[in-house]
Structure 1
Amino acid sequence: MHNHILPGIDDGSKTVEESLLLLQGLKDLGISKCISTPHVMQEVHNNTPASIAAAHKQLKEGMDAAGMKFDIQYSAEYMIDDQLQTIISQDQVCLLPNQHMLIEMSYLAESKALFKTIKDIQEKGYQPILAHPERYNYYHQNFKIYKEIKDAGCLLQLNLLSISRYYGEHVKSAALMLIKSGMYDLVGTDMHHERHLNALRQVAVRYDSYALLKDNPIKNATIFENSQKLAI
């Protein structure tokens, strides 16, 4: 439910051929469905529901030409920036199934608008999901903030690579602390490129992710029921 496989639309896959390689990698890992979530980020990735749909159509055509069978849907990952409030108020969002909305913050500085954004999303009838909370280094010394985010009604999504040292030891430590506390609701690959795919293969070999997350209310298998959109 979080990856950057759509071609030529953000800092993920650049071409249809690369997208097909990444999809085949997911298939090899036993994944049969996914939801691509390209970035929407002011003045960096100015994606809209229309541009995302067009990239998805391009990929589907490439899949058909290659004879590849894979259930791929699309949504978006929204940066909390100066344009997001307008996007939400104007209903210009490209949602995950069942009215879910994936949001993220800068890795460099905390967004002071986080809790207002959560409220704005909820007032539209959507369910916010905060992507990879373990990667926000400015929260690593303030663990109670994660509980405050959850108490505000926002779901938390783990990047699977965070349980390794892919993003660094501090991110791994934060992820394991959140796992121990049973804080995660969803798991995503956040796959952008072949380096991520190779790292995911190593995680699959080295870690028993199901056992590690057994005390977390992981909802990937149920949260998108009745929408035929499911996976990581």
Structure 2
Amino acid sequence: MNFFSKFFGTNSLNNKKVADLSWMEIDIHNHILPSIDDGSKSIEQSIDLVQKLNKMGLKNFVCTPHVMEDVHPNTPETIGEAHLKLTQALKEADNDTKIKFSAEYMIDSGIEKWIGSNQLCPLPSNYILIEMSYLNESQALFKTIQDIQNLGLKPILAHPERYNYYHMNFNIYKQIKDAGCALQLNLLSISRYYGEHVKSTALTLIKSGMYDFVGTDLHHEKHLNALNEIALRYNIPDLLIPCTIRNSELL
């Protein structure tokens, strides 16, 4: 059993105290669509994750599967098909959860194609969720931000606290914000789930009022159990007071 399994546990939320995440209003970043990326592997797993998130007070979601060239080469069509399967399954289960779909775009050569053809799959209110490699800084970040804005869309950088190469250059976060790109916090980042440096960076960004959105970035039940433990341990709404969280814009 690894450290995180010991610390957060691997058991189901069944028979556990359940945290309240209703304050989020909507989860704008997750991987609960079935069989489309490294998130949920089946309709059954998706339904299980949704039902357990419902217990935590979440009834609104924008699903954001990865779009990564040569790894997860999703399109608006493949994402739409997975969304339809999940919404139909929820209807059959008499679950009234509201699920919309978008994507999380890796800044690679593939995103240039989607921008160039104006075929991006936006979140509500014309936002676009983008990410970078955790290993190497993308030299195209600011160009991508500008290209997205030129389409009349509004970029959101997913989990900026997780890019280790920025941890010693806090000014870069201000530059990204000044360029017109919003920042989205992964809730697991306020703990040591991704490591101490990620936690420290997340808390510094929170104290500086830098975050605009929050999301679970949920992929599987291990994330779910860790999220529940963290939300029980921390008063997250109070922690986020320095930030103007705008999740409700995506309802």
Fold agreement, TM-score > 0.5: yes
Deviation at 1:66, TM superposition (A): 1.7
Distance 2:53 2:186 in 1: 15
Q: Which residue of the other structure, out of 213, 216, 229, is the alignment partner of 1:186? A: 213
Distance 2:31 2:212 in 1: 20
Partner residue in 1 for 2:118: 91
Partner residue in 1 for 2:129: 102
After TM superposition, the score normalised by the length of structure 1 is 0.95
Q: Which residue of the other structure, out of 231, 237, 249, is the alignment partner of 1:210? A: 237
1:149 aligns with 2:176: yes
Instruction: Report how many residues are paired.
Output: 224
Q: Give the secondary-structure state (helix, strand or coil) at the position aligned to 1:43.
A: coil
Amino acid of the structure 2 residue aligned with 1:13: S
User: For structure 2, which runs of at least 5 residues remain unmatched after alignment?
Assistant: 1-27
Q: Which residue of the other structure, out of 81, 86, 89, is the alignment partner of 1:54? A: 81
Distance 2:119 2:62 in 1: 18
Partner residue in 2 for 1:30: 57
Distance 2:30 2:106 in 1: 15
Distance 1:91 1:114 in 2: 18
Q: Name segments (4+ residues, structure 1) moved above 2 Å.
A: none
Deviation at 1:65, TM superposition (A): 1.9
Q: Give the secondary-structure state (helix, strand or coil) at the position aligned to 2:109.
A: coil
User: For structure 1, which runs of at least 5 residues remain unmatched after alignment?
Assistant: 225-229
Distance 2:180 2:162 in 1: 20
Q: Which residue of the other structure, out of 141, 160, 168, is the alignment partner of 2:195? A: 168
* RMSD (Å) for aligned C-alpha atoms: 0.7
Distance 1:219 1:135 in 2: 21
1:133 aligns with 2:160: yes
1:9 aligns with 2:33: no
Deviation at 1:76, TM superposition (A): 0.3
Deviation at 1:207, TM superposition (A): 0.6
